[in-house]
A and B are shown apart, each in its own frame.
Chain A
């Protein structure tokens, strides 16, 4: 009797233990594999690993740039010195800053990027708003033409543009970029117009109707309500435009060749500045004497946008997510 009960009891406890164990196993499985793809440990590990590899590949050129910047001649030629230079030299940096005439070039580049981007934000927002909300004849045609301007490679029209700008007397000044931006033809302006068009289309019309009933004019409505409403889109457009103006190389290599030159052009000419004797086709050969200096120069060119981006990064990301840029 008692033995039977005992065996019964042990069986029950075993089954309870089995259930518990099963639950624990399930819990572990949950933890490792997760309910959906994203919340398992295993999946997370894989994601971390893959993302870290790619992130390393992204960072590598920058690390290379920074490490080469501090190398002196002997470190540069020594194959055993890969990442960390044996002693840190500041000479390259001072040479690069001098060769670029950094303060002046930085001022030029910043002036172009900031003014043109600000102008572009306002003009593209206006155009996008007109396309999205205002009564307009040939709306489809306008939209198609805007897309067309985005598709035309700058190389197709660069020579006529050069002639037009030189007739207008705009070459080698800020206005060669500011005037087109003022007329909605800034760098990748078509893309920004489309972004704003998308944004304004996604807004509920009730706001405008209310404002109109209160007797606000269209201009008042746009500058007083719609533009502030589009803050996130404005920020996204401004930052993209800023970066692209900062980095542009092809257009200034045609329009801003002397006097008012931005950083990218000076980087291109750095080799000749450093070695006046080496004229001609030096671009294709890697010159070890100037490599460190060039890397230092390159680092100082991308430093300002990286700092700007570090501060605005959070708004930028959420702005992009909120703008609905892509619908």
Chain B
């Protein structure tokens, strides 16, 4: 009896301790329920229905998995666009991350005038997200001239095969875009370098390690968490990118009479499922590499 009361008292005390924390979390919890949980379950529900806009709201007609099946079997644009875009992404993500790493390494060196350069390299952070950039790309300001000038297409086809040549060319055509999309990644790397203590570099230099060694043995391993963070960020960034053809297709389908919101939601869920699988894969790979490294050392 007494023990029970004691337990209750302890639990009460515990929840009293939680009170402040819950109070601080309260806005987020309400917001999550209102603006994430309800919309998510609603859109999942819609994806199993044929949704039509009727006078006082929506009219639902349960169709089960048909929307999902149609996306792959009937739609002759969606699967192709999806596969092309994913192929491009697979190539773009590593390029962006490696490029950002190199630039960050250079910006991290001490040289006169580096503040000006750093300021310049924040430009993409300022307006890479905007409508302005897509406007610029429409006008052709983002093209690189050497693609047509040197007629690279046959060369690329020869080296990587016809099958992937198109992807490679598409990525090359987006070279400027790659530069523009590495703003935040460069920032993350620069911030990451600050966490490596300079005394380590000093120590290995005295031990006779060349800069080359110290990059591979110290900088790069210390950067693995930031690399994984950047890979994740880049994937998310590219998936919600405004010029993305898949998203455009989803948006187009929303306002078509014969497909409607239900079908568009199904497409969005397929898309989301793929991102999620990709991100889970990346997380798993990185956590494994971290673990093996810890096991070795």
Taking a contact as CB atoms under 8 Å apart, the answer to whether B28 and A58 are in contact is no
- List which A112-143 residues lie within 8 A (CB) of chain B: 123, 126-127, 129-131, 134-137, 142
Taking a contact as CB atoms under 8 Å apart, the answer to whether A48 and B43 are in contact is no
State the CA gap A36–B115 with chains docked (Å). 21
The residue that B35 contacts in the complex, of A142, A164, A218, A306, with Cβ under 8 A, is: A164
State the CA gap A302–B215 with chains docked (Å). 38
State the CA gap A149–B272 with chains docked (Å). 12
List 16 additional contacts besides A43-B109, A320-B190; criterion CB under 8 Å.
A51-B107, A130-B24, A149-B36, A155-B240, A159-B264, A160-B40, A247-B131, A248-B129, A249-B131, A249-B242, A267-B135, A286-B138, A286-B140, A321-B191, A324-B191, A326-B229
The 4 closest A-B pairs by CB, nearest first: A183-B31, A247-B130, A37-B211, A134-B21
Assess whether A95 is interfacial by the CB under 8 Å rule.
no
* Contact A50:B106 (CB < 8 A) given known A160-B43, A164-B39, A313-B119: yes
- List which B243-258 residues lie within 8 A (CB) of chain A: 247, 250-251, 254
A residues less than 8 Å from B22 (CB atoms): 130, 136-137
Taking a contact as CB atoms under 8 Å apart, the answer to whether B269 and A302 are in contact is no
The residue that A154 contacts in the complex, of B17, B240, B269, B276, with Cβ under 8 A, is: B240
In the complex, what residue of chain B is closest to A135 when comparing beta carbons?
Answer: B17
In the complex, what residue of chain A is closest to B40 when comparing beta carbons?
Answer: A157
B residues less than 8 Å from A327 (CB atoms): 195, 225
Assess whether A305 is interfacial by the CB under 8 Å rule.
yes
State the CA gap A310–B120 with chains docked (Å). 10
State the CA gap A57–B142 with chains docked (Å). 9
B residues less than 8 Å from A131 (CB atoms): 25
Taking a contact as CB atoms under 8 Å apart, the answer to whether A54 and B179 are in contact is yes
State the CA gap A64–B143 with chains docked (Å). 12
Taking a contact as CB atoms under 8 Å apart, the answer to whether B195 and A182 are in contact is no
In the complex, what residue of chain B is closest to A55 when comparing beta carbons?
Answer: B120
B19 → chain A closest CB, angstroms: 9
Interface flags, B34-76, vs A, CB<8A=1, else 0: 1110111011001000000000000000000000000000000
Assess whether A60 is interfacial by the CB under 8 Å rule.
yes
Assess whether B275 is interfacial by the CB under 8 Å rule.
yes
Assess whether A301 is interfacial by the CB under 8 Å rule.
yes
A39 → chain B closest CB, angstroms: 7
The residue that A38 contacts in the complex, of B18, B34, B110, B276, with Cβ under 8 A, is: B110
A residues less than 8 Å from B240 (CB atoms): 153-155
A221 → chain B closest CB, angstroms: 10
The residue that A183 contacts in the complex, of B20, B30, B43, B226, with Cβ under 8 A, is: B30
State the CA gap A77–B18 with chains docked (Å). 69
How many B residues, CB 8 Å from partner? Answer: 89
Taking a contact as CB atoms under 8 Å apart, the answer to whether A130 and B122 are in contact is no
A residues less than 8 Å from B14 (CB atoms): 135
Assess whether B117 is interfacial by the CB under 8 Å rule.
yes
B residues less than 8 Å from A151 (CB atoms): 236, 275-276, 279
Main SS class of interface, A = helix
* Contact A136:B18 (CB < 8 A) given known A44-B111, A185-B36, A249-B130: yes
Taking a contact as CB atoms under 8 Å apart, the answer to whether B20 and A161 are in contact is no
A198 → chain B closest CB, angstroms: 11
Assess whether B187 is interfacial by the CB under 8 Å rule.
yes
A residues less than 8 Å from B141 (CB atoms): 60-61, 64-65
Interface flags, A307-327, vs B, CB<8A=1, else 0: 001100110110011011111
Assess whether A244 is interfacial by the CB under 8 Å rule.
yes
Interface flags, A160-189, vs B, CB<8A=1, else 0: 110110000000000000001011110000
Taking a contact as CB atoms under 8 Å apart, the answer to whether A184 and B40 are in contact is no
B residues less than 8 Å from A58 (CB atoms): 120-121, 123-124, 179-180
The residue that A243 contacts in the complex, of B119, B125, B247, with Cβ under 8 A, is: B125
22 residue pairs bridging A and B, Cβ less than 8 Å apart: A38-B211, A39-B110, A50-B106, A51-B107, A57-B176, A151-B236, A152-B272, A153-B239, A155-B240, A159-B265, A184-B32, A185-B32, A193-B28, A222-B24, A248-B130, A264-B131, A298-B135, A305-B127, A306-B126, A317-B122, A326-B191, A326-B195
